[in-house]
């Protein structure tokens, strides 16, 4: 989102907030004031039911109802290629997920399997397909389970969806409760193109018909996987963060506008977010890497000064250097979002004298896998911290199913954060002082990687989001 759009949304928000008759519901795309969905009574879906442990009791969905993404390749080669390199395609086979899933099954043997696969292998979940014997990516690759399961979140998972799912509110026993509204196996694919011509697919094995649903232009289509709470804690609530900001919920942009931008006549299916394939090293020339960097570079700005000031607000008085820093969140959700307990965004600041000697620094890491001290109040850090105690005490943990309290230090949606550094200078300094500030980001905390995938620690990438610098003359 650019700055012009940001200003427009803020203005609309102020106008909307001043209206005495402004409704309290979200008017985005297809939801009405009564909370109904215009498609809900039109297109049938296949149902399933769950017990209190998240196990399937009954299901109308057979695993054979879903088509492998391979069947889409002939007609949609570019889209298929993009999806193939996305984290949707890797959602089940990702080695970090596999390690966390194994831990989850050990710690919650009655609920741990379905709790994770409800989003990472949803076809297996709704079809009640047994995943016994799958403990690693190698097990998965060598198994003979259907491709639709190995493919994680593939074409049919989205394009047989006919209605928005509710937010997943996970209870204390961490049982799967996801509600999907799928209609697979009927020869129809649903999508965002109105008056689509499917006649060319008449002989296709994948489908013989296609239908437009406004759902596919709505952020609501990203539920339930990107909107979950556990024990009432907002563990992964990106859609709600967007929806609770009225200008965004009413007027957009939607999740798709940023994460599925238009490429010619179709939407990108890289589903670019902040995650990268880095386990064996990062390919900075890959399209995936460039998409992630581009998205991050548009997510925030940093300024050595106060918000909306034109005068120089950095000054020296009585040998104290005063440096205000303002960070603006330009995204449609909190920063970082997704799984903020695994992510970190922070400010690196370096101050050097006229000879290039460092006289002050914070947030500077010698290696990409160095840990950040969460208790250092001088470090500007955006993340969420999970605890195994109810009072923000006890041990810091990285498994949300075990969390009993959380410390949300993320930056609010379309909001700014201002801090000021006060640094005492040496008496003999002269000339000029150079100040450099950068916002840096990494998708995993080293502590989490060390627990679940330590072999990838050395390859953990850090990406620069934004930067600013200033030169201050010493009086």
Q: In what order do the strands lie in the sheet with 168-170?
A: 168-170, 228-230, 233-236
> Pairing relation of β-strands 358-362 and 384-387?
unpaired
SS3 258: helix
Per-residue pLDDT, 205: 60
Residue whose pair of structure tokens reads 């080695």 in the numeric block: 95
SS3 455: helix
Looking at the DSSP bridge assignments, the partners of residue 59 are 48
10 Å Cβ neighbour count for 311? 6
For the segment 310-359, what is each residue's pLDDT rounded down to a tens digit?
556 899 999 999 999 999 999 999 999 999 999 999 999 999 999 999 99
Q: Of residues 53 and 14, which shows the higher confidence score?
A: 53
Per-residue pLDDT, 8: 45
CA-CA distance, 213 to 40, in Å (whole number)?
Answer: 11
CA-CA distance, 183 to 201, in Å (whole number)?
Answer: 19
CA-CA distance, 283 to 291, in Å (whole number)?
Answer: 12
The DSSP secondary-structure symbol of 338 reads: S
Answer whether 108's CB lies under 8 Å from 171's CB. Answer: no
Per-residue pLDDT, 35: 33
CA-CA distance, 349 to 469, in Å (whole number)?
Answer: 10
Six token digits for residue 144: 């003979």
For the segment 192-219, what is each residue's pLDDT rounded down to a tens digit?
988 777 755 545 566 778 899 999 999 9
The share of the chain scoring above pLDDT 90, in percent, equals 79
Please state, rounded to an integer, the average pLDDT across all residues of the chain: 88
* Residue burial 267-276, b: 16+ Cβ < 10 Å; e: rest: bbbbbbbbbb
pLDDT band at 264 (very low <50, low <70, confident <90, very high): confident
Residue whose pair of structure tokens reads 């201050």 in the numeric block: 472
pLDDT band at 424 (very low <50, low <70, confident <90, very high): very high
Q: Of residues 39 and 65, which shows the higher confidence score?
A: 65
Per-residue pLDDT, 21: 39
Answer whether 207's CB lies under 8 Å from 225's CB. Answer: no
Number of H helices, E strands in the chain: 13, 21
Is the bond into 253 cis (omega within 30 degrees of 0)?
yes
Per-residue pLDDT, 199: 57
DSSP-H helix ranges across 223-366: 238-243, 246-251, 255-259, 287-297
10 Å Cβ neighbour count for 110? 15
Count Cβ atoms within 10 A of the Cβ of residue 1 and give its class: 0-12 exposed, 13-18 middle, 19 or more buried: middle
The dihedral built from the CA positions of residue 149, 152, 155 and 156, taken in this order, carries a sign that is positive
Q: Find, among 190, 171, 192, 168, the residue nearest to 179 by Cα.
A: 168
pLDDT at 26 over 80: no
Q: What separation, in Å, do the N-terminal and C-terminal C-alpha atoms of the chain show? A: 40
Answer whether 466's CB lies under 8 Å from 301's CB. Answer: yes
Answer whether 179's CB lies under 8 Å from 56's CB. Answer: no
pTM: 0.89
Count Cβ atoms within 10 A of the Cβ of residue 16 and give its class: 0-12 exposed, 13-18 middle, 19 or more buried: middle
Answer whether 95's CB lies under 8 Å from 66's CB. Answer: no
């Amino acid at each position: 989102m650019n700055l012009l759009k940001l200003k427009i949304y803020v203005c609309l928000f102020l106008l909307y907030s001043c209206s005495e008759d402004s409704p309290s519901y979200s008017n985005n795309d297809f939801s009405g004031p009564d909370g109904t969905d215009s498609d809900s009574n039109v297109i049938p879906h296949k149902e399933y039911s769950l017990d209190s442990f998240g196990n399937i009791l009954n299901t109308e969905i057979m695993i054979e109802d879903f088509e492998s993404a391979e069947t889409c390749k002939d007609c949609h080669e570019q889209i298929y290629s993009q999806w193939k390199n996305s984290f949707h395609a890797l959602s089940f086979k990702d080695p970090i997920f596999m390690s966390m899933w194994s831990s989850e099954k050990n710690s919650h043997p009655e609920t741990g399997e379905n709790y994770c696969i409800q989003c990472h292998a949803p076809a297996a979940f709704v079809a009640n397909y047994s995943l016994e014997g799958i403990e690693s990516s190698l097990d998965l690759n060598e198994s003979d389970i259907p491709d639709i399961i190995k493919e994680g979140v593939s074409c049919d998972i989205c394009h047989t969806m006919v209605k928005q799912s509710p937010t997943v509110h996970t209870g204390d026993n961490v049982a799967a409760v996801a509600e999907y509204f799928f209609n697979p196996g009927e020869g129809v694919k649903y999508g965002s193109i109105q008056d689509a011509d499917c006649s060319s697919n008449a002989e296709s094995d994948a489908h013989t018909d296609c239908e437009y649903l406004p759902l596919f232009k709505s952020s609501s289509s990203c539920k339930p996987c990107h909107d979950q709470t556990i024990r009432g804690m907002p563990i992964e609530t990106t859609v709600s963060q967007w929806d609770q900001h009225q200008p965004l919920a009413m007027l957009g942009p939607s999740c798709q506008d940023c994460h599925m931008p238009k490429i010619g006549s179709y939407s990108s299916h890289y589903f670019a977010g902040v995650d990268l394939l880095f386990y064996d090293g990062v390919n900075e020339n890959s399209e995936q890497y460039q998409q992630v960097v581009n998205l991050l570079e548009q997510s925030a700005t940093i300024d050595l000064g106060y918000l909306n000031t034109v005068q120089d607000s950095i000054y020296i008085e009585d040998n104290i250097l005063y440096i205000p820093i303002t960070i603006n969140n330009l995204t449609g959700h909190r920063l970082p979002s997704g799984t903020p307990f695994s992510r970190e965004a922070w400010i690196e600041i370096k101050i050097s004298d006229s000879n290039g000697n460092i006289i002050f620094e914070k947030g500077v890491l010698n290696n990409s896998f160095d840990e950040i001290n969460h208790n250092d109040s001088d470090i500007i850090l955006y993340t969420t911290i999970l605890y195994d105690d109810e009072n923000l005490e006890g041990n810091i943990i990285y498994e949300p199913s075990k969390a009993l309290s959380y410390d949300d230090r993320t930056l609010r949606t379309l909001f700014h954060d201002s801090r000021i550094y006060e640094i005492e200078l040496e008496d003999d300094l002269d000339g000029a002082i150079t100040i450099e500030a950068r916002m840096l980001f990494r998708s995993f905390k080293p502590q989490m990687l060390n627990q679940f995938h330590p072999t990838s620690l050395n390859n953990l990438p850090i990406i620069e989001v934004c930067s600013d610098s200033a030169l201050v003359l010493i009086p």
